[in-house]
């Protein structure tokens, strides 16, 4: 049985995430390598991908998304907004829509029947087949197709009420019936991925493929961490591991059992090195499950675990940071949790400024704003 140390796990993940050295695969290759890039905050997704490519800027990511269409913005793992490689979209949409939801159900007076859900998804897919619609335009189309019940304002949402059909929006994306289109001013639009990807269709459900992608980016791992990453019931994750036992290899991490894809036990020769400023929801630091205490040692666990931008040094979180942009200038406030190399931090600040296409200014001091501010 192969035995890993936590340091070897960090070195392996840094290399595979393009944080030990840049990847050479382009933006879509980055999204594929890290099993999807979280894009709830689009500027964070642009920075996340840019940090993993030599010379890339936010414009590089935008071109891959809206010009080349090698990236697709849609609902991905955990039902959250992600940038996914277009080449991987059949695999993702074949699996994600079949994963049982690990959270609670809407109240009975809000919930739709299975038949109503299918009716809504069909209406959504038809409405965006040849269009880019705002959420209000899409809502009008769905209600016109399904009936007044779909528009009942019953879902609690940010101090107001959303129409009933909105509970199926994420599932429509997970199944490939819609994705995000380019913004219309300040408004988000939705469209159909088939408009840009001729011949696109969800693949047959293959949990093996999603587990393999996950383990490539985050292995060695466990069913519990896989369930956390997928926002799925732990029992479902355990079943996937059991069904694929012949394709997996048990290893240890500092003596604790974990799994990798069979034969995938390589680790870099060098220990984990380097300083990186990771944006909100960066997949390296965010999708960690119960690895969190080791990834966020000491004061990092209380000061940076959650929706913070973090500084990693040698593979673990050693600080947090915040950015404030004004025109072409961006001020980066970095709060270290201990010793760091100033030259390495200056270099990373310059790289962040390059990606954001702004002139950076570094301030070293306490970050006083809350998470995701």
Q: What is the pLDDT, as a whole number, of residue 373?
A: 59
Taking the alpha carbons at both ends of the chain, their separation in whole angstroms is: 45
Q: What is the pLDDT, as a whole number, of residue 287?
A: 65
Q: What is the pLDDT, as a whole number, of residue 312?
A: 97
Helix (H, G, I), strand (E, B) or coil at 136: helix
Helix (H, G, I), strand (E, B) or coil at 151: helix
Q: What is the pLDDT, as a whole number, of residue 159?
A: 79
Q: What is the pLDDT, as a whole number, of residue 289?
A: 62
CB–CB of 335/367 below 8 Å? yes
pTM: 0.95
CB–CB of 145/127 below 8 Å? yes
| Domain coordinates in residue numbering, the chain | 275-364
CB–CB of 253/9 below 8 Å? yes
310, two tokens: 């973090």
CB–CB of 323/331 below 8 Å? yes
Which residues in 274-313 are b (16+ Cβ under 10 Å) and which e? bbbbbbbbbbbbbbbeebbebbbeeebbebbbeebbbbbb
Helix (H, G, I), strand (E, B) or coil at 181: strand
359, two tokens: 């002139």
Q: How deeply is 145 buried, as exposed, middle or buried, from its count of CB atoms within 10 A (0-12, 13-18, 19+)?
A: middle
Mean pLDDT by 10 residues, the chain (373 residues): 96 97 96 96 97 98 97 95 98 94 81 96 98 97 98 88 95 97 95 95 94 96 94 94 98 97 96 96 80 89 88 96 95 96 98 98 93 66
Look up tokens 């025109």; give the residue.
327
């Amino acid at each position: 049985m192969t035995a890993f140390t936590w340091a070897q796990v960090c070195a392996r993940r840094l290399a595979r995430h393009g944080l030990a050295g840049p990847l050479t695969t382009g933006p879509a290759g980055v999204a594929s390598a890290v099993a999807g890039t979280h894009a709830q905050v689009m500027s964070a997704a642009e920075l996340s991908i840019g940090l993993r490519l030599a010379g890339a800027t936010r414009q590089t990511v935008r071109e891959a998304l809206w010009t080349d269409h090698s990236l697709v913005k849609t609902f991905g793992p955990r039902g959250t907004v992600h940038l996914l490689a277009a080449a991987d979209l059949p695999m993702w949409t074949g699996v994600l829509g079949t994963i049982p939801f690990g959270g609670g159900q809407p109240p009975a007076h809000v919930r739709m029947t299975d038949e109503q859900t299918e009716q809504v998804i069909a209406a959504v897919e038809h409405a965006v087949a040849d269009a880019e619609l705002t959420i209000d335009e899409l809502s009008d189309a769905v209600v016109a197709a399904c009936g007044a019940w779909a528009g009942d304002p019953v879902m609690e949402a940010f101090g107001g009420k959303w129409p009933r059909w909105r509970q199926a929006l994420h599932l429509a994306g997970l199944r490939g019936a819609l994705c995000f289109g380019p913004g219309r001013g300040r408004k988000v639009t939705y469209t159909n991925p088939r408009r840009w990807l001729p011949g696109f269709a969800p693949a047959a459900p293959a949990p093996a493929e999603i587990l393999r992608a996950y383990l490539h980016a985050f292995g060695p791992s466990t069913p519990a961490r896989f369930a956390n990453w997928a926002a799925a019931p732990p029992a479902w994750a355990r079943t996937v591991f059991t069904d694929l036992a012949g394709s997996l290899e048990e290893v240890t991490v500092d003596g604790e059992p974990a799994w990798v894809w069979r034969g995938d036990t390589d680790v870099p020769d060098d220990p984990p090195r380097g300083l990186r400023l990771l944006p909100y929801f960066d997949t390296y630091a965010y999708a960690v499950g119960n690895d969190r205490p080791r990834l966020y040692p000491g004061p990092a666990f209380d000061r940076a675990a959650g929706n913070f931008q973090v500084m990693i040094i040698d593979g673990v979180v050693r600080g947090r940071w915040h950015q404030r942009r004004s025109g072409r200038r961006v001020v980066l406030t970095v709060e270290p949790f201990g010793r760091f190399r100033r030259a390495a931090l200056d270099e990373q600040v310059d790289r962040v400024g390059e990606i954001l296409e702004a002139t950076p200014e570094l301030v070293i001091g306490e970050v006083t704003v809350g998470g995701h501010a």
